[in-house]
Structures are given as structure tokens and as C-alpha cells.
Amino acid sequence: MREELSRIVTQAEEAIAGAQTVETVEELRIRYLGKKGVLTRVLRGMGSLPPAERPLVGKLANEIKVRLEADLAARISVLKEKEKERKLAAEKLDVTLPGTRPFLGSVHPLTAVRTEIEDIFLGLGFQIVEGPEVEHEYYNFEALNFPRDHPARDMQDTFFVSDEVLLRTHTSPVQVRTFEKTAPEVPVKIIAPGKVYREDDDATHSPMFNQIEGFAVDTRITLGDLKGVLHSFVRQLYGEKTRMRFRASFFPFTEPSAEVDISCVICGGHGCRVCSHTGWLEILGAGMIHPRVLEVSGYDTEKVSGFAFGMGIERIAMLKYGVDNIRLFFDNDLRFLQQF
């Protein structure tokens, strides 16, 4: 029986060493060590052995089992390693192929326009300041020379939070907040970008939109300075050939007041659908700061004067990119945003 066992070991080890796949090794495990395997079958014949020999043969059988298990495991790991090498050898890496571009997102068109406007005014010596969006009635209206119950307050349909607290309807309150801190010091040259709110809603008006306020106070500031600064601004934003004109207008906090038009950026002033065939596009409101506004904050208007202007960022962006509905800026539709 010992001879038979040693013959089985030799045979099994040869077969294992020759196995070329993991599956074959598994088959061999079943054939030699399985419940109906060769080893079990041989051991069943132990009954015919003299009793003294039985434990010895049993021990030997156990050793063989352990040895074959080890052989099987070793063969499997060799085969797996070979398989890995084979796969690696088959794989080709072409380092000249173009990579896959990660999706990085892009700057929102309103942010891009705001940054561009800010950069132009920073270049003209202005500083950036921000004010609160939830504002007191005093800063939004009263100090800006909108008298209580005056119809001028209706120019801007207001969202009230309480009797005297509201969502600011424009960025002009930042003028007053700034003057309270700076007066009587000059010069002051500030731009104030930010969100504002009005009860408006159509293709070119949104209940929330963005404005940029600009203002300067110094000795001997004139309407000429305002024109110079604004003309420099529109030429940098829309190109050297852009013309600009002032149209008399009214704001309670400026005197005189003007609405500022530029030659149509689409047709160059010849007349088209965008400019309603006038050749001009309105882009902002402006004027010389009303003496009352300077005085309530502590400026001596015998000594100093100032100009101010305010523009809607969405309007500038719509003209710049040819967007005809203001909603598109706020829908967050990637198909729209990815174009910028």
C-alpha cells in the first residue's frame, strides 16, 4: 500500500506540474483529494492491513494530503502570475494618444463681465467696495434725496422686509454708506458691484439682478470728468470706435442727471433690431451727485463735488454676448453656460 501511495504522489505531482490552467489544477485537486478521489479510494483498502500498520499508513496518507495541497496552491500561484504577465505583455500603451479632458466648468458670463468692468475701473484708479443687500430705507431712499411719500420712490418697485427695512433696489445706497465713513476726506473713487432687487419680471428685467455703482468726490470734479471716465470705460469695454452720448434724465440723487447711450454694438449705429433702429443703446444712468446727498453725510459742497453712475451688469452682458432673454443667466442650463 505504501508503494501504491508513493506511486500516486509521483503521478499527482507530475500532473500538477504539467497543468497549464487554474481550472486544470482544480480538476486535479478533485481527482486526487476529493471525496471520491484517488487518495480516499486507496485508504478505504486500509482494512486489509495488519492493525499495527494502519496508524503508520494513516499518518503517511495525511502527509501526502498536506504535500499535495501545497503543490496545488503553489501551482495556482505560478499560473496566476503567468496569466498576469501574459496580459501585461498583450496590453499596449500608446503615450501619443490624446488624453481625456477633465470637465472643469467655466466662469459664469455675469461674473466674467463683472470682472472685466471691475478691471477697467481699477485701471482708472477706482477701489471696490461692497454694501448690504438687505438695506435700511434711509440709505436706499431717504439719504439719496427721495423724500418720503414722493412718487420718485415708485420708479423702483420695492420688496419690503418690514416698515423700514427692504431689499435694496439699486447700489446707490453704497454712496451714502461710504460718505459717512470718508467725509470730509477727499478724494473718493469707488465702484460698488452687487445684487439688487425689484418687483420686475420680463425678458429684459429680472426680480434679482446686478448693478455696478461708480462714484467720485473731490475738489473741482466736473461733468467733464464724468464724461471722460465713462467714455474711457465704454471704449475699453466695447472697442475704440464706440461713440457715447448723454441724454438729460432725472434721478433724485443727481443733478444734473443723464442717461448714457452708446452707439449700437451690433450695427455700429446704422440701425438694427437690437437698437430699435435708433443706432443707440442705453447702458447706464449717471449725473453729478446732488449736493443734499453729500451734505447729509458731512461734506461741504462749497469745497467738494462728485459724480456718480450706475449700470446693470445683465444688460451689459446681454449686449456683449447677444443674449435676448435675461432668464438664461439664472436658469443654470449647462448648454447655455458652456458657450462662454
**Min dist. Cβ of residue 238 to ligand FA5 (A):** 15
Question: 60: closest CA among 12, 9, 11, 17?
Answer: 9
Taking contact as CB under 6 A, which single stretch among the options 54-62, 108-116, 209-217, 221-229 is the one that binds ligand FA5? 209-217
Chain residues 263-302 in contact with ligand FA5, contact rule CB under 6 A? 284-287
109 touching ligand FA5, by CB under 6 A: no
- In terms of Cβ atoms closer than 10 Å to its own Cβ (0-12, 13-18, 19+), residue 301 is middle
172 touching ligand FA5, by CB under 6 A: yes
254 touching ligand FA5, by CB under 6 A: yes
**What distance in Å separates the CA atoms of residue 181 and residue 129, rounded to the nearest whole number?**
12
- Kindly write down the DSSP assignment for every residue of 12-64, as one continuous string: HHHHHHH--SHHHHHHHHHHHHSTTSHHHHHHHGGGGS-TTTHHHHHHHHHHH
Exactly one of 312, 317, 318, 329 binds ligand FA5 (CB under 6 A); that residue is: 312
Exactly one of 209, 238, 280, 299 binds ligand FA5 (CB under 6 A); that residue is: 209
Exactly one of 75, 310, 317, 319 binds ligand FA5 (CB under 6 A); that residue is: 310
Q: Is the peptide bond before 207 cis (omega within 30 degrees of 0)?
A: no
Q: Render the burial of 5-37: b for 16+ CB within 10 Å, e for the rest.
A: beebbeebbebbeebeeeeebeebbeebbeeeb
309 touching ligand FA5, by CB under 6 A: yes
Task: Give the number of other Cβ atoms within 10 Å of residue 306's Cβ.
Answer: 27
**C-alpha to C-alpha distances, 117 to 27, 274, 314, nearest whole angstrom:** 77, 22, 12
Give the contacts of 177 (CB within 8 A, at least 6 positions apart): 131, 139
**Min dist. Cβ of residue 226 to ligand FA5 (A):** 10
**Min dist. Cβ of residue 233 to ligand FA5 (A):** 14
Task: Mark 316-335 with x for binding to ligand FA5 (rule: CB under 6 A) and - for no binding.
Answer: ----------x---------
**Min dist. Cβ of residue 274 to ligand FA5 (A):** 14
Task: Mark 127-166 with x for binding to ligand FA5 (rule: CB under 6 A) and - for no binding.
Answer: -----------------------------x----------
Residues at the site binding ligand FA5, with contacts judged by CB under 6 A: 156, 170, 172, 198, 200, 205-206, 209, 211, 213, 251, 254, 284-287, 308-312, 314-315, 326
